Structure 1
Amino acid sequence: MTASDTVSEAFTQEWEAWQAEHERVLADPHGFLAITSLNWLDETPQRFADAPGEWSTGPGGVVVGLAPGEHLEINGETVTGRHEFGVIAERASLFPKAGDAVIEVAKRGGHDIVRPRHPDNSLRVTFAGTPTYPPHPRWVVTGRYVAFDQPRRTTVGAAVEGLQHVYDAPGEVRFTLDGRDLTLTAFNGRAPGTLSILFTDETSGVTTYAANRSLSVDAPAADGTVTLDFNRAANLPCAYTDLATCPLPPAENRLPVAVEAGQKIPTERLS
């Protein structure tokens, strides 16, 4: 085994670990594949077949009214009757338990929603993994992060028709791929200092999911250097289920090249 073989093996093993973690989170008993319905709340109490209680929202936030014999478990305490969740922040979620399910209570695009998650949902039970391109070092690209003078308020569409998401984009990433100078608008990642990039490319709708893919980027170095590993271009939940509210990429983030790396169209979308 040569030194290059060792590097290649380590590279593949690290990618396999990343892919396995993505699948683990996706197929968690209360992950996105467990969602059984997406319900939009208003001031009129509504009952849903896959969740206890009558649900509504108003200026004071989300409220559930539980009938006799119904209950939820919130922070380890059993709740009955009327319960006020209060105003939920944009992109935040609460997960009260209902037996072996959780009832996600969240706000997306300014709207309060209820999304029950049941471990026995058929989409989760039959999930067999996500097709991918084989990982290859050629898709690991060095780029440069350039911060905007001020974060740019950026409105994008969503997988759900009529819904919009608003983000403050802190900057953009510039890089070269296949001899072309390219730029992607970046949003803030989950961890402080990290970046999240939504994009499409020439494979979108052909071998990869049409609407979007996501790329997580570690915090830039002091000189702005970043690494874009397109082998880790990941599907968002909307690639698997119509019950997700995922954001779409900004218009400028459609790459005029074919990024034949990362995750492909889920098998569930091909049937």
Structure 2
Amino acid sequence: MSDQDFDRVGFVEEWKEWHRAKEETLAGPHGFLAITGLHWLSPEPARFDDAPGSWRATPDGVVVELAEGEELTVDGTVVRGRYAFGPVPERDSRYADWGDARLEIARRGGHDILRPRHPGSVLRTSFRYTPAYDPDPRWVVTGRFLPFEEPRPVTVGATVEGLEHVYDSPGEVEFELDGARHRLTAFNGTVPGGLMVLFTDSTSGVTTYAANRSLQTAAPDAGGAVTLDFNRAGNLPCAYTDLATCPLPPAGNRLPVAIEAGERIPLERGGRP
């Protein structure tokens, strides 16, 4: 897309707002930087240093047994003793508050997990910012959405060894960059009809996080055109902490070009300012 298609000042300001909002969520009091533990639950009750109660996974969902003097707040209601959270769908979460901490009860890759989030986490309190390439209109490209007749389940790996995620893919996105044509498997995005692509490229492990980056798009238009703004290629939580279960890109989603746009390796992983 040519420069005349842009209000450059507005373009940069919109990118800054996107980056600011993303950082604000990441480093919020109960954001991913506040996580202090990734606890894999089993049928055997277990206690953890960063959460009250004894926790276990059952066929009917996660159950906690709170000792005398321990309590949680779930959906605004104080609970004591035994509490059953019920089944949690894959990639979904429930939350319980404990003082200023928030406990995440989730299911990932077929396993029940507990992730406490404490505002005083050192990773959160020491966070400064995420390095990123300067936004450049060159990295805004128009692609074409190629829908499948029916969504296809796609199994991908995870940053946790041995874990797998299964996502339904509605189709692929095809686009040209520097005269070459590329195609990426897409998943459903965070906005209605939108798309999300996980990818790596020639910068991965050099200036950008090695495992993955994520790009969200608006819904394709009536003709299937979709805008990919690689300036908004963002890090997933695993770029900052080992206490995340992020998916890896599907096979074939490694671009043989250097996407020198978007977020770079976090300072916490040795990235450069």
For residues 212 and 54 of structure 1, the distance between their equivalents in structure 2, rounded to whole angstroms, comes to 35
Does residue 22 (structure 1) correspond to residue 22 (structure 2)? The answer is: yes
- CA shift, 1:4, in A, is 5.9
CA-to-partner distance for each residue in 1:61-101, whole Å, 9 max, x for gaps? 10000000000001111100000001110001111000000
Question: Is 1:199 the counterpart of 2:199 in the alignment?
Answer: yes
Structure 1 equivalent of residue 51 of structure 2: 51
1:222 matched to 2:218? The reply is no
How far 1:187 sits from its partner (Å)?
Answer: 0.2
Q: How far off is 1:58 after superposition?
A: 1.3
Equivalent position amino acid for 1:135 in 2: P
Is the 8 Å Cα contact of residues 131 and 266 (structure 2) preserved in structure 1?
yes
Structure 2 stretches of 5 or more lacking a match? Answer: none
Please tell me whether the aligned partners of residues 6 and 137 of structure 2 are also in contact (alpha carbons under 8 angstroms): no
Instruction: State the secondary structure of the residue aligned to 2:252.
Output: helix
**Aligned equivalent of 2:113:** 113
2:254 and 2:265 map into 1 onto residues whose CA distance is 17
* CA-CA distance at 1:6 after TM superposition: 8.1
- Structure 1 vs Structure 2 CA RMSD: 1.3
CA distance change for structure 1 residues 113 and 124 in 2, over 3 Å: closer, same or farther? same
Query: Which consecutive residues of structure 1, in runs of 5 or more, have no partner in the other structure?
Result: none
User: What is the alpha-carbon distance in structure 2 between the residues aligned to residue 4 and residue 225 of structure 1?
Assistant: 20
Greater shift, 103-112 or 189-198, is seen at 189-198
Aligned AA for 1:173? V
Provide the identity percentage: 62
Q: Distance in 2 between matches of 1:29 and 1:120?
A: 8
Summarize the Cα distance change of 1:6–1:186 in structure 2 as closer, same or farther, 3 Å threshold: closer
2:11 alignment counterpart:
11
Deviations 1:29-67 (A, max 9, x none): 000000000000010000000000000011111000000
1:191 Cα deviation (Å)?
2.2
Q: Distance in 1 between matches of 2:179 and 2:21?
A: 32
Gap change, CA 1:259 and 1:5, over 3 Å in 2: closer
Aligned to 1:212: 212
Give the TM-score of the pair, scaled to structure 2: 0.97
Q: Distance in 2 between matches of 1:266 and 1:220?
A: 31
Partner of 2:91: 91
What is the CA deviation profile of residues 117-171 of structure 1, one whole-angstrom value per residue up to 9, with x for unaligned ones?
Answer: 0000000001000000000000000000010112111000001000000011000
Structure 2 residue aligned with 1:133: 133
Distance 2:104 2:52 in 1: 12
- Superposed CA deviations along residues 153-209 of structure 1, whole A, max 9, x for unmatched, are 100000100000001100000000111100000001122211110000000000000
Letter in 1 for 2:194: T
Count of matched residue pairs: 269
Aligned-partner SS, 2:106: strand
TM-score norm. by structure 1 comes to: 0.97
Cα distance, 1:44–1:28 mapped onto 2, change above 3 Å: same
